[in-house]
Amino acid sequence: MEEGLSGRFYIKTSGVRGGCGGGGTKCGRWNPTTEQVKVLTDLFRAGLRTPSTDQIQKISSQLSFYGKIESKNVFYWFQNHKARERQKRRRVSVDNKDTTIHREEKIPSPPTKHFAEVNHVIEPAERVIQTLQLFPLNSFDEPEPGEKFILRAGECREFSHTFGSDFIDHPPLDLRLSFY
């Protein structure tokens, strides 16, 4: 049993910092600003769960106003957010089991966290006008109880205003590379 212990170790052969050139640019990983997180969370709450590629592009462009961001950041954000929502839900679901040995659950337990969480304190700095023209259709990705309609690609194609009016259409993109 390699993983008999609770902790696994690994050897990192690279410096934690200075991976982007050693200069002043700290390119560790994307650190979203509060505004960016707010917009993303808002979109998620609005029902957007798996934005399409073009949607990701637009969102990323919009959020780039608040700081450095890439499309993949948006992509990962939604992936993680969605996955962890389900994860939590699943955890709670498993909690129903009569496991006598039930340690202290730490799902919703803020460990002596006595600070006011800034979740909805920003109201004048609403620069991004999120004109979410989302109209619910009968296409839920997953009928989770207590969840809104899922906004999938194709349903809502207008999040904001400054987005270019360039519509998107997926070209055939058929690469036939048959060498016989």
Footprint of DNA on this chain (CB under 7 A)? 1-2, 4-6, 8, 10, 12, 16-17, 28-32, 37, 49-50, 52-53, 72-73, 76-77, 79-84, 86-87, 106, 110-113, 115, 141-142, 152-153, 173, 175
Interface with its own copies (CB under 8 A), residue total 72
Token pair of 146 as six digits: 């207590």
Report the alpha-carbon distance of residue 90 to residue 88 in Å, rounded: 5
Binding mask 29-68 toward its own copies (x if CB under 8 A, else -) reads: --x-x-x-----------------x--xx--xx--xxxxx
Token pair of 96 as six digits: 């129903």
Question: Do 129 and 162 meet the contact criterion of CB atoms below 8 Å apart?
Answer: no
DSSP assignment letter at 17: S
- We find the least distance from the C-beta atom of residue 133 to its own copies, in angstroms, to be 17
Residue 68 interacts, among its own copies, DNA, none and using kind-specific CB cut-offs from 5 to 8 Å, with its own copies
Is residue 154 a contact point for its own copies (CB under 8 A)? yes
Is residue 165 a contact point for its own copies (CB under 8 A)? no
Three-state DSSP at 40 gives helix
Q: Give 26 or 162: the residue with its C-beta nearer to DNA.
A: 26
Identify which of 17, 128, 112 has the alpha carbon closest to the alpha carbon of residue 63.
Answer: 128
Intra-chain end-to-end CA distance of the chain, in Å: 49
Compute the residue count for the chain: 180
